[in-house]
Amino acid sequence: MKVGILGGGQLARMIALAGYPLGLQFVVLDPDEHAGAGGLSEHLHGAYDDPDLLAQLAEKADVVTYEFENVPAHVAEFLSSHTTVYPPANALAVAQDRLVEKNFFNDLGIGTAPYAAVDNLHDLQDAMPNIGFPAILKSRRMGYDGKGQMVLKSTDDLAAAWQAMQGAPSIVEGFVSFQREVSIIAARRPSGDIVFYPLSENQHSGGILRLATACTNDAEQAMAEDYVRRLLEKLDYVGVIALELFDVDGQLLANEFAPRVHNSGHWTIEGSETSQFENHLRAILDLPLGSTQTRGFAAMINFIGGLPQTQELLNLSHVHCHLYDKAPRKGRKVAHATLRTDDAEVFTQTLAKVSALAQRVDQS
């Protein structure tokens, strides 16, 4: 079987790494000539909406998936009419637009921060009495790692923040003073079978994920599973999904979802019986889903902008090094380390060491 992937970055690479033991082959489509899932797959080099390349991809692949959610709708539709595409195009459409996404959550009875659509400065000014300060102005489309977002502290900030959006359709949302951020990753196959991973507790700084830790026996697990199940069933979803949540006094508010494998699930590579990448492949190929049980204590630390000292990482027991074959650049995710052990004390000590290594090379 051959799996096609739109996008040939680190997520495609980790999908391919999980697929080789299952006897799978891969073909990626990516405009970057250095992409190609780190040399692990056949590479169709060109634009995502090049009709010839899309036709080739559909021809070569038994099923097509993607590593990013900003796939143009007409591309997903074209591919869907030529081959099997999972997750389904409707999930992309919802996840691509923060306003549609927030409405979708609320229609499913899943709470969010208060929000309002903003198409001009008047909309923003009119919304603020209801939203309150502080708040965040976000472009509806194309944002990631906190890009395209402005924090609003008072009415004095509104004009400059709206100007910075350069007319992009936006939403304003109330700033949530959460106790913690968590995400839940789940996988669903066409038959409707679903598996859930334990919650991941996530720490961000500057809008970028830094640390993701597997939760054990978390009080909010059942609520998160209920919410992500509602999404999966409403979208008739196939593949892995990630739902980002704010925990406010034991109530979960949805932030956004990603219709793909997710950075907060990278600890599942060594930390789970079956990784998110393998379960994504199992789901889209309609194979039995694997156990999501955590193997002891597990966490993931991102390396942002600067590469880790590989030798120093490899000197640490229970640590696994994942380099993405990407040139270091400010703010860019270039590698991560996974940490897994059965010993709680070793876990805490080693996590501190890896975090210090990540901070030393941080360029964000």
Task: State yes or no: 67 annotated in a binding site.
Answer: no
Q: Binding to ligand ATP by residue 362, rule CB under 6 A?
A: no
Of residues 61-120, which lie at the interface with ligand ATP (CB under 6 A)? 113
- Of residues 81 and 166, the one with the C-beta less far from ligand ATP: 166
The DSSP H or E segment spanning 314 is: helix 310-314
Stretch that binds Mg ion, among 168-176, 253-261, 279-287, 315-323 (CB under 5 A): 253-261
- Of residues 201 and 256, the one with the C-beta less far from Mg ion: 256
133's contact among Mg ion, ligand ATP, none, with CB below 5 to 8 A by partner kind, is: none
Q: Binding to ligand ATP by residue 201, rule CB under 6 A?
A: no
Task: State yes or no: 236 annotated in a binding site.
Answer: no
* CA-to-CA separations, 363 to 302, 305, 332, in angstroms, rounded: 12, 4, 8
The Cα–Cα gap between 154 and 171 comes to 17
**Cβ–Cβ < 8 Å for 128, 121:** no
Stretch that binds Mg ion, among 93-101, 106-114, 248-256, 264-272 (CB under 5 A): 248-256
For the chain, the first-to-last Cα distance in angstroms comes to 40
- Of residues 30 and 256, the one with the C-beta less far from Mg ion: 256
For β-strands 42-45 and 25-30, DSSP reports them as parallel
The Cα–Cα gap between 354 and 319 comes to 8
Write down the least CB distance from residue 204 to ligand ATP, Å.
4
Distance of CA 240 to the CA centre of its chain: 10
Residue holding tokens 């980002």?
244
The Cα–Cα gap between 151 and 43 comes to 40
The Cα–Cα gap between 333 and 304 comes to 5
Residues 70, 246, 329: CA angle, nearest 5 degrees: 45
Task: Determine the length of the chain.
Answer: 364
Q: How many CB atoms lie within 10 A of CB 343?
A: 12
- Of residues 256 and 362, the one with the C-beta less far from Mg ion: 256
Write down the least CB distance from residue 52 to ligand ATP, Å.
31
**Cβ–Cβ < 8 Å for 281, 265:** no
Write down the least CB distance from residue 94 to Mg ion, Å.
13
Q: Binding to ligand ATP by residue 247, rule CB under 6 A?
A: no
Write down the least CB distance from residue 310 to Mg ion, Å.
28
Annotate each residue in 120-159 with x if it binds ligand ATP (CB under 6 A) or - if it does not, as one string.
Answer: ----------------x------xxxxx------------
Write down the least CB distance from residue 262 to Mg ion, Å.
9
331's contact among ligand ATP, Mg ion, none, with CB below 5 to 8 A by partner kind, is: none
Task: State yes or no: 149 annotated in a binding site.
Answer: yes
- Of residues 33 and 249, the one with the C-beta less far from ligand ATP: 249
Task: State yes or no: 175 annotated in a binding site.
Answer: yes
Please enumerate in sequence order all residues whose Cβ is within 8 A of that of 352, keeping only pairs 6 or more positions apart, or say none.
none
Residue holding tokens 């990630």?
242
Write down the least CB distance from residue 242 to Mg ion, Å.
9
Q: What is the DSSP string of 173-227?
A: EEPP--SEEEEEEEEE-TT--EEEPPPEEEEEETTEEEEEEE-SS-TTHHHHHHH
Task: State yes or no: 204 annotated in a binding site.
Answer: yes
Given the rule CB under 5 A, which residues bind Mg ion?
Answer: 244, 256
Residues comprising the binding site for ATP?
Answer: 98, 138, 143-149, 173-176, 181, 204, 255-256
Interface residues with ligand ATP (CB under 6 A)? 113, 136, 143-147, 173, 175-176, 181, 204, 207, 244, 255-256
